[in-house]
């Protein structure tokens, strides 16, 4: 048992680090680099970059503190059999999921764009969850992995705040996990959605979870 108190909103909370995992959502080239899925949707991918250095620091500290570390990637099978038509048929036809782009086929597993950015590359032993949807629990074995490791608390980083981070936090909250979302380790193409996404999580006494900056978390991980 390694009980620590984390400064967070709407309240500080005690967690046992032995039952806490770090989950890094979709820090993939497809979302953070030009030419990928994020840009094909008309977004300015540079907006996500400020999340990278704090995420890298938390990842290093979590590794040193021997936390379970989980990475997720959004993407589809090459035959797109796991991609609903309703998801594929959005956006400009030449730039849809499965179309060829500068980083390979857009949002398809095994293509360069699907990779996690080099700064946050997973190391051996860190599970990677390949997810076809926005939520990391939907059609994946994430829940089983967390249960096997007796995890109760999740430190959540990644992109985008209001889409895959928020969806995953809501799924996790309904499954009984305490989620602490690290505000500066998340990012959105829309600054106002980033703020709203965090506000929705911590409102009403923490209806979906807690929000903390990375510094208080680094403090307890380093201790
Ligand atoms: C999006 C994600 N924004 N990882 N995916 O489509 O948030």
The label of the residue with tokens 């599970």 reads 127
Q: Is 32 in the pocket of ligand 1 (CB under 6 A)?
A: no
8 is a domain residue: no
Is 112 exposed, middle or buried, given 0-12, 13-18 or 19+ CB atoms closer than 10 A? middle
Residue 145 has pLDDT above 90, yes or no: yes
Residue 149 has pLDDT above 90, yes or no: yes
Mean pLDDT of the chain: 97
Residue 160 has pLDDT above 90, yes or no: yes
90 is a domain residue: yes
Domain region containing 152: 16-162+188-210
126 is a domain residue: yes
Catalytic residue among 30, 115, 130, 131: 131
2 is a domain residue: no
Instruction: Kindly indicate the confidence band of residue 166, based on its pLDDT and cuts at 50, 70 and 90.
Output: very high
CATH of the domain at 117: 3.40.50.850
Q: What is the pLDDT of residue 90?
A: 84
Q: What is the pLDDT of residue 168?
A: 99
Across 75-96, average pLDDT: 92
Q: What is the pLDDT of residue 115?
A: 98
- Threshold 0.95, pTM exceeds: yes
Q: Is 130 in the pocket of ligand 1 (CB under 6 A)?
A: no
Residue 139, sorted as left (phi over 0), alpha (psi -120 to 50) or beta, turns out to be left
Instruction: Kindly indicate the confidence band of residue 11, based on its pLDDT and cuts at 50, 70 and 90.
Output: very high
Q: Is 186 in the pocket of ligand 1 (CB under 6 A)?
A: no
DSSP alpha helices (H): ranges in 78-141? 85-88
Residue 164 appears among annotated catalytic residues:
yes
The whole-angstrom separation of Cα 116 and Cα 114 is 7
Q: What is the pLDDT of residue 120?
A: 98
Distance of CA 116 from the midpoint of ligand 1 (Å): 14
| Among 163, 171, 188, residue to substitute to test ligand 1 (most atoms within 8 Å of Cβ) | 163
Residue 26 appears among annotated catalytic residues:
yes
Q: Is 26 in the pocket of ligand 1 (CB under 6 A)?
A: yes
Instruction: Kindly indicate the confidence band of residue 41, based on its pLDDT and cuts at 50, 70 and 90.
Output: confident
110 is a domain residue: yes
Residue 17 has pLDDT above 90, yes or no: yes
130 is a domain residue: yes
Q: What is the pLDDT of residue 108?
A: 98
Residue 188 has pLDDT above 90, yes or no: yes
Q: What is the pLDDT of residue 215?
A: 98
Q: Is 160 in the pocket of ligand 1 (CB under 6 A)?
A: yes
Structural domains counted in the chain: 1
Residue 66 appears among annotated catalytic residues:
no
Residue 147 has pLDDT above 90, yes or no: yes
Residue 212 φ then ψ, to 5°: -140, 155
The label of the residue with tokens 């857009």 reads 106
The whole-angstrom separation of Cα 71 and Cα 3 is 24
The string of pLDDT tens digits covering residues 86-119 is 999 987 888 899 999 999 999 999 999 999 999 9
Q: Ligand 1, residue 162: give the atom nearest the CA.
A: 7
Q: What is the CA radius of gyration of the chain?
A: 17
Residue 21 has pLDDT above 90, yes or no: yes
Q: What is the pLDDT of residue 114?
A: 98
The whole-angstrom separation of Cα 152 and Cα 146 is 8
Q: How many CB atoms lie within 10 A of CB 85?
A: 8
């Amino acid at each position: 048992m390694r009980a620590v108190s984390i400064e967070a909103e709407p309240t500080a909370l005690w967690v046992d680090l032995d039952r806490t995992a770090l989950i890094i959502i979709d820090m993939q080239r497809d979302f953070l680099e030009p030419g990928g899925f994020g840009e094909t949707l008309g977004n300015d991918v540079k907006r996500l970059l400020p999340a990278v250095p704090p995420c890298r620091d938390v990842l290093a500290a979590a590794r040193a503190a021997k936390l379970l570390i989980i990475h997720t990637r959004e993407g589809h099978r090459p035959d797109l059999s796991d991609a609903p038509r309703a998801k594929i048929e959005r956006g400009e036809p030449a730039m849809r999921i499965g179309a060829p782009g500068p980083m390979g086929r857009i949002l398809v597993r095994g293509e360069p764009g699907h990779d996690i950015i080099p700064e946050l590359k997973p190391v051996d032993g860190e599970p990677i969850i390949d997810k076809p949807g926005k939520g990391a629990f939907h059609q994946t074995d994430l829940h089983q992995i967390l249960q096997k490791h007796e995890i109760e608390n999740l430190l959540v980083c990644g992109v985008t705040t209001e889409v895959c981070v928020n969806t995953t936090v809501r799924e996790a909250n309904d499954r009984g996990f305490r989620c602490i979302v690290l505000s500066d380790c998340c990012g959105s193409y829309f600054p106002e959605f980033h703020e709203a996404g965090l506000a929705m999580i911590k409102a009403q006494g923490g209806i979906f979870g807690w929000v903390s900056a990375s510094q208080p978390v680094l403090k307890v991980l380093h201790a």
